[in-house]
Structure 1
């Protein structure tokens, strides 16, 4: 099976979308490699950094979509993950805390302007100052809004849903390793799985496969999306790679670790490898995987 649609790709096959400006050749090559690996479309993902740098990177991807046929075919738009996230330990994840900020109307417009109409998805923390109005501002402009790297109360999560929040980014990640046993972000989001589409990283590291199996049994089939959260290491194997200014260590099991080995920093597993894990380790059938890896994300991008 191929034709996958991946809503979260930070980089791939040696190319980092969050690093120095990319050449046309690099962008053409990464599109070819994604296509070769069965990814029909994806959202290049720009993560938290200095806002000017983020806008430059967003602008470069937008320019590629408009000028390179290969990019137009593979890049379905741009996913902006941050800088409007929760800056506290665990929730901030691999994002540089010093660049986290609140989603003011001016900052949102700056990001959208840099994307020239190609920003399709924004991940933010609903509990951030101004975040609930920001959800409405983004939705009014046709942007998919996801919660992620966040810890909203159930009441705030519901307010964001009422404002148009429709997704949750990589549930089980972007949160501390130790949480309240009942009232935590995972349980709150699962309780709203009739209203939110929920994405999962299916590499066996970000969420252990036994836990992922439990989550997948709870969330309605039409509300599950598998994402790679790929970084430049994806498709290349163990070694040291860049994610923006960070050095990421990929071990022999393809787990991608921050330099201090305290948390994961993106993913080195490709969509074909995730498909294989879901099939062989969890016994997920082809029909379900088609829904989770093609049909559901495609519906979100319409």
Structure 2
């Protein structure tokens, strides 16, 4: 990548401690983190500094989409670069429920660009296949097309994996299918992370899925029926399963603060942030045409809703900086914990080396955020600098 520097030093407030530090970067890796002995008189002049964000679920951004076929040329390359402005240094393009051929075409296009473009190949940590092995029931299915929902099928999945050049690393599955348990076990044995989502599964089905190797929950609390039994239900079962890491959308619309608080307390360091961003993310407020849901309205507050049913969400448009901001400003956790939920923890869950954070020897995916006293004055975070493998990529 262009502008590579063999020796670079960055300074800022450590995202975990708030202490002023200097980070040395050599040959794309962090060489050391030391106290900054000559900080400015006002520490507010320094940006916060921490690891780059890792987003496990990106459907699209700024008008680009991984699910509108044919995928426009250079979508993966352009979107990888566009996400730098949101502090995202690694992400998972997410392909949702569709026909066999459409999914094959989508994963093939993403994989091809990852091989042809260095920036895309470095930023794309894997593909997230969200469906079609999900619940056919209204509510649990969400906005996914009922016409293409189907039972887990290992030979079919292998066809897609071959087309993706082995890049499918996460697959969202509902355990309610009789075929699910064997499918989950084969995925786990092959190194593919199975995430439970868009499900209407019974408690025993959730338990068997976890025993077979399911390891995560996709956008917990969303893609669910609007009304559930008091108990038992599939949300309680996923919360109670210690083995499951939990992805949360913290945009202020998808989950109430009370649900975020409970999930974070129960899951501890297995609570993760995702954006689940759709193509309207990064676009101005207005009315748009969605390929899966007709007309949608993006409000000035960042809520994406159905035009004819404003009470229904039509997807997520707020990115990880907004999720971090929401958690911190609502007092749900510290800046350090929110930052880790958006960076180190997802990297750890999917086995990326960036899980080492700012430790010496870690890949130098580093993010600088200007945010004064971390939102205490009502301000929002501003991405001030992004480094990918030690190379400045933003601004």
State the TM bucket, normalised to the shorter chain. over 0.9
Q: 1:268: Cα distance to partner?
A: 0.8
Q: Do the aligned residues in 2 keep the contact of 1:224 with 1:292 (CA within 8 Å)?
A: yes
Q: 1:301: Cα distance to partner?
A: 2.2
TM-score (norm 2): 0.72
Q: CA 1:240–1:129 in structure 2 vs 1: closer, same or farther (change >3 Å)?
A: farther
Tell me which of 135, 138, 142 is aligned to 2:187: 138
SS in 1 for 2:336: helix
Q: CA 1:45–1:241 in structure 2 vs 1: closer, same or farther (change >3 Å)?
A: farther
Residue aligning to 1:249: 297
Residue aligning to 1:123: 172
SS in 2 for 1:55: helix
Residue aligning to 2:142: 93
State the Cα deviation string for residues 86-123 of structure 1 (Å, max 9, x = none).
Answer: 01110000101111001122222122122111001000
Distance 1:86 1:25 in 2: 32
Tell me which of 39, 43, 64 is aligned to 2:92: 43
**Which shifted more, 79-88 or 233-242?**
233-242
State the Cα deviation string for residues 40-67 of structure 1 (Å, max 9, x = none).
Answer: 1000000001121011001111111111
Say if 2:340 is the partner of 1:291: yes
Q: Do the aligned residues in 1 keep the contact of 2:97 with 2:131 (CA within 8 Å)?
A: yes
RMSD of aligned residue pairs (Cα, Å): 1.7
Say if 2:250 is the partner of 1:202: yes
Distance 1:259 1:101 in 2: 29
Residue aligning to 1:229: 276
**Which shifted more, 141-150 or 110-119?**
110-119
Please give the residue correspondences for 1:159-170 in structure 2 after superposition, counting only pairs within 5 Å.
Answer: 159-170=208-219
Distance 1:197 1:148 in 2: 12
**Which shifted more, 235-244 or 199-208?**
235-244
Q: Do the aligned residues in 1 keep the contact of 2:69 with 2:102 (CA within 8 Å)?
A: no
Q: 1:217: Cα distance to partner?
A: 1.7
Residue aligning to 2:329: 280
Distance 2:220 2:323 in 1: 16
Distance 1:258 1:63 in 2: 34
SS in 1 for 2:54: strand
SS in 2 for 1:265: strand
Q: Do the aligned residues in 1 keep the contact of 2:143 with 2:292 (CA within 8 Å)?
A: no
SS in 1 for 2:162: helix
Q: Do the aligned residues in 2 keep the contact of 1:16 with 1:243 (CA within 8 Å)?
A: no
Distance 1:109 1:26 in 2: 24
**Which shifted more, 156-165 or 280-289?**
280-289
TM-score (norm 1): 0.94
Distance 1:2 1:233 in 2: 26
Where does structure 1 lack aligned partners over 5 or more consecutive residues? Answer: none
Distance 1:142 1:2 in 2: 25
Q: CA 1:153–1:293 in structure 2 vs 1: closer, same or farther (change >3 Å)?
A: same
Q: 1:14: Cα distance to partner?
A: 1.2
Q: Do the aligned residues in 2 keep the contact of 1:148 with 1:168 (CA within 8 Å)?
A: yes
**Structure whose residues are more often helix by fraction:** 1
State the Cα deviation string for residues 151-199 of structure 1 (Å, max 9, x = none).
Answer: 222211111111111011011101011111222221111111x211010
Q: CA 1:242–1:64 in structure 2 vs 1: closer, same or farther (change >3 Å)?
A: farther
Q: CA 1:102–1:250 in structure 2 vs 1: closer, same or farther (change >3 Å)?
A: same
Distance 1:138 1:48 in 2: 18
Residue aligning to 2:57: 8
Rg bigger for which structure? 2
**Structure whose residues are more often strand by fraction:** 2
Residue aligning to 1:268: 317
Distance 2:210 2:188 in 1: 11
Distance 1:259 1:82 in 2: 25
Q: Do the aligned residues in 2 keep the contact of 1:229 with 1:267 (CA within 8 Å)?
A: yes
Q: Do the aligned residues in 1 keep the contact of 2:76 with 2:114 (CA within 8 Å)?
A: no
